[in-house]
Homo-oligomer: A and B are copies of this chain.
Amino acid sequence: MSKKKDKNTEVQILEAAKTVFQSKGMDGARMQEIADTAGINKAMLHYYFRSKQLLFEAVFKNAFSLLAPQLNAILNDDSSLSVKITNFTVDYNTFMLKHPYLPNFIIQELNRNENFIEKLKETTGFPTLDKFRLKVNEEITKGRIIPIDADQLFVNILALNIFPFIGKPLIKAFANQDEKSYKTFVDQRKTAVVDFIINSIKKH
């Protein structure tokens, strides 16, 4: 009997929880809705994850672990600064167009629970700026780019790439964009942001 021999129930729960938590947030999410989305009994959520809080943390860590590698790529590989920036911008934008709720979800929940990020810092693979700082200062010393604080540059790169996804409703309203023109706009940023950053740090 092809009894739909489902995926692991645990995985189904995680996927449903991801969907609900990312669109409603911790406070707005309902355990019943997660159960319904997963197509299972609510008691199962507690059987596998014990509490809403623990289920949420599982989803959150999962989401964060999707972003960390992309950050580590720009922070720790050995390519030139402009290649790093280009790769990160293109990769990040491409990725986010497929996971539009992710950035807002992470930012929102980190702000809701300030000491949440402390737990994440203990995770292996949590990004550090050390190597990026060295690289930036090296390129400054070699006269390839203008003097700039590495941390400020890093935040600028993050800001220019992340904000359009978090501020989507604002941008659509200000620029009078519908869903289609917003997507075009974001797509064009893959090159526009790279040009903007490179231009702002290069020596002319």
Contacts and interface: CB of A to CB of B under 8 A. Distances in A.
Given A188-B149, A199-B199, A204-B204, A129 B159 contact: no
Given A25-B25, A188-B149, A155 B171 contact: yes
Contacts of A156: 160, 193, 196
Given A159-B160, A188-B149, A112 B168 contact: no
Interface string A119-146: 0110000111100000000000000001
Contacts of A171: 155, 158
A2 interface: no
A189 to B, nearest CB: 7
Contact of A121 (B155, B173, B192): B173
Contact of A25 (B27, B107, B151, B173): B27
Interface string A181-204: 000010011001100110111001
Given A154-B174, A173-B117, A185-B151, A107 B200 contact: no
Nearest to A201: B199
A175 interface: yes
B158 A163 contact: yes
A113 to B, nearest CB: 9
A63 interface: no
For chain A, give the interface size range. 35 or more
Contacts of A204: 204
A108 interface: yes
A170 B128 contact: no
Contacts of A155: 163-164, 167, 171, 175, 189
Given A28-B27, A108-B108, A117 B169 contact: yes
16 contacts: A24-B27, A25-B112, A26-B28, A104-B107, A104-B108, A108-B111, A110-B170, A121-B173, A126-B173, A129-B174, A129-B176, A154-B174, A154-B175, A159-B163, A196-B200, A199-B199
